Structure 1
Amino acid sequence: MAVQRTFVMIKPDGVKRGLIGEIISRFEKRGLKIIALKMVKMSRETAERLYEEHKGKNFFEDLINYVTSGPVVCMVIEGDEVVQVVRRMIGNTDPKEAPPGTIRGDYALSKSENVIHASDSLEKAQREMSIFFDKLDL
């Protein structure tokens, strides 16, 4: 199996609701390794870089306002096939479609306040990690 790294972010609603420890615990119990972690208050510029693929879509402004509304917890997680593993663990963007036992299935309140973000490919993971962490952090 290939050891990979991915980017994961606990969004403002997850931080506000006190879910940081629970979410991190799920990754650790799964045998994944957190190799970098920080809490940040994201600027609009950083949020726009993170979500640049959605620029021009009707939900873009709401998304940017939401992720800059409070602190977020950014992390780099390492493990075998970690991008796919983490995506399965977090569940569908829409919590109504996320199975119980997934992070969104258990904790997300709506499609817009869905607790967590995770890269959906190795390429995006590299780009997203570089927004929040430099090589010395990793």
Structure 2
Amino acid sequence: MLAATGRSPVTGDLSLETAGVRTDERGFVRVDDRLATDAARTWAAGDVAGSPQFTHMSLDDYRILKATIAGGDLRTSALIPWNRFTDPGLARVGLTEQQARVAGHDVRVARLLVAAVPRARTLRDTRRP
């Protein structure tokens, strides 16, 4: 069994304060919900910004930065997907359909083709589960 007990950002030797970029007490770059730092026209993404260390979160960071640079207003989500890397993979985010209905929410079910999932394309396996 391999257990990771945590990782630390390696920002101490970057002289970020010279550029006006502040870090928190653990060394992560401080960002807002658009991944902007305290310095003008400077963003941070991924592990250094304290994003959860998952491939799908890095993709989310990329989408936010791409939209921001293009003049959009995409913001980070507090929802972190739950997934199990099995074959086929299982994943969900937020409430289940049943939990949402019990909570009284109007529910609209949407489906996504496996071919639209970056990991499936990377693995060249877009079979329907």
TM-score for both structures, normalised by structure 2: 0.26
Higher helix share: 1
Q: With CA pairs under 8 Å and 6+ residues apart, which has the higher RCO, 1 or 2?
A: 1
Specify which structure has the higher proportion of strand. 1
Which structure has the larger Rg?
2
TM-score (norm 1): 0.24
